[in-house]
Amino acid sequence: MTTLPALLIASRALAPVAPFLEAAYRVFRLWEGPPVEATDDITAVVMVGEDALDMVVLEHLPNLKHVACFTSGYDGLDLDWCRARGLVVTHAPAVNHEDVADHALALMLAARRRVVDGDRIVRSGSWAIEQRLITPSMRGQRVGIVGLGAIGEAVALRVAVMGCEVRWWGPRDKAQAAWPKAGSLVELAAQSDILVVACRADTTNRGLISAEVIEAVGPNGLLVNVARGSLVDEDALIAALKAGRLGGAALDVFETEPTSAERWADVPNVLLTPHTAGATMAAVQGMLALLVRNLQAVAAGEPPVSPVP
């Protein structure tokens, strides 16, 4: 009888993925307890890239070859540690960026056009024909994009079609960019009616959207984050919203996830979604397919399909 190869799923958020892997692998779930009986057998760890992976767990897996991030991001991993131990690290790039951009656009529209407020007015029975929600038009809005990668570019294309003026900023130049680059992040924020955070997170840019950047967006501006919660100084954001120094925020990601309801209970002008920007059926199926291909390739001693660069 052939024994199936063993892998460890480290992120509880991937519990729904486990049944799809069990036909080809012995699947262990870290949240159910350390896989003591299988430490010598596990050759792959599967995780959500933004989760902080306890390296002590990896140190107890002597035959580990592969750390597979189900998502595009991998900011929860210590790449230097993994590479020093000869581990292959893979991820799922260019799978859900269009869906994330769609969600960013949905957040912009919902916040700017006060869609949720309108829904509440109708449901509460307080709709008075002489009173209307008068909101800004999206056409002509100045949209600043932090990070012109796959997500940022997809957002830019969408809002440009709507008649918005697009600028961007990032740490590296992009000679082929179709939109002008601001001289600095603070300059971009000051020039934007809507600032969209779409850059990759890593150890160097935690709190990139600082109090100074938030203040530069200003009392009429909107901050949208579909990247990582770690990129925004959340305490400064909440303080600015409460004081009216920031016009509004629309967030899909948070400093701590799940974020607590109490943290946002008395925060005005904020629209929140539970980290669902990239969670479409097509995207999840695409990430799962890429995960399986990477697992198969590394197990066979072949080059991975999508290694972390």
pLDDT band at 45 (very low <50, low <70, confident <90, very high): very high
pLDDT band at 57 (very low <50, low <70, confident <90, very high): confident
In the residue annotation, 257 being an active-site residue is answered as yes
Mean pLDDT of 65-86: 94
Angle at 106 between CA 226 and CA 100, to 5 degrees: 40
pLDDT tens string 199-211: 999 989 999 999 9
- Helix, strand and coil content of the chain, in percent to the nearest 5, comes to 35, 15, 45
Look at the alpha carbons of 149, 155, 161, 162 in this order and tell me if their dihedral is positive or negative. negative
pLDDT band at 174 (very low <50, low <70, confident <90, very high): very high
Tokens of 139: 């056409």
pLDDT tens string 264-291: 999 999 999 999 999 999 999 999 999 9
Residues with Cβ within 8 Å of residue 309, at least 6 apart in sequence: none
Mean pLDDT of 59-74: 95
pLDDT given at position 79: 92
pLDDT tens string 122-156: 999 999 988 889 999 999 999 999 999 999 999 99
In the residue annotation, 228 being an active-site residue is answered as yes
Mean pLDDT of 63-83: 94
Among 50, 228, 234, 245, the active-site one is 228
* Average pLDDT over the chain, rounded to an integer: 95
pLDDT given at position 255: 96
Angle at 194 between CA 150 and CA 97, to 5 degrees: 20
| Separation of alpha carbons 139 and 269, rounded Å | 21
CB 95 within 8 A of CB 290: yes
* Phi–psi pair at 22, nearest 5 degrees: -70, -15
pLDDT band at 186 (very low <50, low <70, confident <90, very high): very high
CB 76 within 8 A of CB 51: yes
1 has a pLDDT exceeding 70: no
230 has a pLDDT exceeding 90: yes
Among 257, 262, 263, 302, the active-site one is 257
CB 135 within 8 A of CB 113: yes
Tell me the residue length of the chain: 309
Mean pLDDT of 75-103: 95
Residue owning tokens 């900023």: 169
Mean pLDDT of 166-193: 96
pLDDT band at 2 (very low <50, low <70, confident <90, very high): low
Mean pLDDT of 104-118: 97
58 has a pLDDT exceeding 60: yes
Domains of the chain with bracketed CATH: 6-95+281-299 (3.40.50.720), 97-272 (3.40.50.720)
Among 97, 275, 293, 302, the active-site one is 275
* Phi–psi pair at 145, nearest 5 degrees: -120, 125
Euclidean distance between the first and final Cα of the chain, in Å?
38
Residues with Cβ within 8 Å of residue 82, at least 6 apart in sequence: 58, 67, 89
